[in-house]
Structure 1
């Protein structure tokens, strides 16, 4: 259940979560395993050799994208399936993966700047636009960090960050830093589009996990609409 939770909160598809749990349960001696997973919950029922049935439910409250963690969990599950370890060792490995930090705040901030600048150039902006996009990308990252400290929920956080970023871009363009606000904003929007979540939900539906796929698709589309609405409101009110 702990490994399944790590996979689900890190952006793995439902098929991978259920397959990992089933394989590990079979390795450790359960004779029957039933798993039901959606993007917000895991329900596991197992039966041992004596016929006893156990059920556990794990509620998932927050999810993010961390493909490095997904890869580590996959590697650990494959290793355990080939060479089962003690419960203590198993728990230590889970804790190691859970506590491991993927990137520092400085690295994430630089990634926001580079990705914003690159997409601004890709969609037709000039060099000055890319510099402005990089600066607004850094501002976007800092606003995300502030929203997390204030415990603002995901939908409202995306809306506020979109509005404030659009205002910052228009302000910098008015000051002469940047020439095409639309090209700059496109670079910033690409950081907020839930592309992986959308792809994962479609994958789930193609695999037959229709309910989880539809929930993921709905969430991804809703996030995209909120982001678009935040930028659009500012652009329309500013007459750009």
Structure 2
């Protein structure tokens, strides 16, 4: 006698066949792949957040006036962020005066004391997300990781120059000395730290006594 198969049995066989060779199996595989991708995204996000927190803790431990090696380290981090999010970085080369001439007018000790006071003023005028940099006895920079517009940099330069002028007049009212600022912007004026520092210095040299403004952007 021929054995009959129930409709339910056929349905179960069909489902099993579909899982093994058909659409259901493909769906399960795709879901597993999507779950793996999503988990990797979550892991990457957590790793990035931990990395950012560690870097923020590192920034909080930096001195108020950073040197070349410290600048190189934080520039690399902010450059990566700028590339990812399409943001810009700026360097302001703050020039106060020729140290040789200042030495003749003030003497070495007074000259260094004045420059220290000017550094302190730059630090006091900068925001928490800006970094005062001293590369040698006379090279002073303000590193601005992110900014909204060039007008913002103009206002910042004017604020710095006013602060420098007030410091000089307070410390040495008879000294004829004024500040100047050269500005370079990443990535427009350079891709490396050295290129940006050089561009800011060249912009500074574009200024002369006849200039109405005492800050200049790199071209």
TM-score, scaled to structure 2: 0.29
From the two aligned structures, give the one with the greater strand fraction: 2
TM-score, scaled to structure 1: 0.27
Which structure has the larger Rg over C-alpha atoms? 2
